[in-house]
Amino acid sequence: MTTLNAPPETAPLLYRVTQGVAVISFNRPDKLNALTPEMLHLFFELVNQAAQDTQVRVILITGEGRGFSAGLDLSVIGTGVSKATASSSSASPAPEVEKQWGDGIGPNLQRYFSHGWNALITSRKPTIAAVNGAAFGWGFILALHCDIRFAGESALFNATFARLGVPAEKGIGWLLPRLIGIARAADLLYTARRFDGREAERLGLVNQVLPDAELMPHALKYAQQIAAHAAPRSLAAMKAQIWSAGDDCYDQAFGAADHEQDLAVQTQDFREGIASLREKRSPNFRGD
């Protein structure tokens, strides 16, 4: 497994692991964390690193400063590269993905999702977005690829694509209607209007809106609670079930769940879960 050292505070992304939670932060606060190809490449590398690390149980995404991510850096539009690599002929390639922990657990997500932009989905670990400030364009899309979203009161969302003359990019035309329905998705995509966290909560795009000062403490505590009390194998299977269920019929989903249950009852984590309930203590899950 390739291991990336924690980058310095001046790096475009920050990475730290605390109590089973990998926190990945976009770190261009002076640009509202606008994304360059280099940042995306590093972001996917860090997501894959967290996905392969058996000590990481949950992945939490956020942005430094006043924004989550304002989307693609405007200096990149029309060039395929950022200013830092203007002499290159193309943007940074997607990182090569190694086998991740949990790939073999639950329904096969590779039937529907590739790696790269879908690394947050295929990670087999719960992913949470803590949206602070602007989540526009590609930043909006990355937040939607997470399983759970919390927003600060200052959060703003925008699917900017119609105003740029481009289609619904990076799978959002597939993803957004599945989250909030066709009519509501069409409204957000066709008008490219900005909307705040409260409307996002009403639409079902975010799980909860919190005061800005409480956003990260709440999201981190929530993630740590999952990391401490949920069996990693159960999380991996559930995530695969959630993301594949929309394309399965009921009998397929039922059969897949039965198969996973037959496997789960043979694991150490199942025995530990039963023992911890009987002994009225916190479980010590190991992922096996």
**Residue ranges covered by each domain of the chain:** 13-229, 232-279
The rounded Cα 125 to chain-centroid distance in angstroms is 9
Class of domain 13-229: alpha beta
- Confidence at 210, pLDDT banded by 50, 70, 90: very high
- Least confident piece of the model among 46-50, 92-96, 179-183, 276-280: 92-96
What do you get for the CA distance between the two ends of the chain, in Å? 19
- Provide mean pLDDT across the span 68-78: 81
Of 61-65, 79-83, 131-135, 248-252, the poorest mean pLDDT is in 79-83
Given this model, what pLDDT does residue 87 score?
Answer: 36
Entry pTM: 0.86
Share of the chain above pLDDT 70, in %: 87
**How much is the pLDDT for 4?**
52
Q: Which of 258, 146, 264 has its CA nearest to residue 207?
A: 146
Q: What is the pLDDT of residue 92?
A: 46
- Over 50: is that where the pLDDT of 86 sits? no
pLDDT tens across 1-44, in order? 334 555 566 789 999 999 999 999 999 999 999 999 999 999 99
Give the mean model confidence (pLDDT) for residues 182-192. 95
Lowest-confidence region among 33-42, 92-101, 224-233, 240-249: 92-101
**What are residue 130's DSSP bridge partners?**
150
Asked if the model's pLDDT at residue 263 lies above 70, the reply is yes
pLDDT at 115: 67
What pLDDT score does 193 carry? 94
Average pLDDT over residues 262-271: 77
How far is the C-alpha of 112 from the C-alpha of 216, rounded, in Å? 32
CA 118 to chain centre: 9
How many Cβ atoms are within 10 Å of 16's Cβ, its own excluded?
A: 12
Pairing of strands 58-63, 21-26: parallel
Lowest mean pLDDT among 72-86, 190-204, 264-278: 72-86
Cα 271 to its chain centre, rounded Å, is: 30
Of residues 246 and 218, the one with the higher pLDDT is 218
Taking the CB of residue 197, how many other CB atoms lie within 10 A of it? 26
In this structure, what are the phi and psi dihedrals at residue 174, rounded to the nearest 5 degrees? Answer: -90, -40
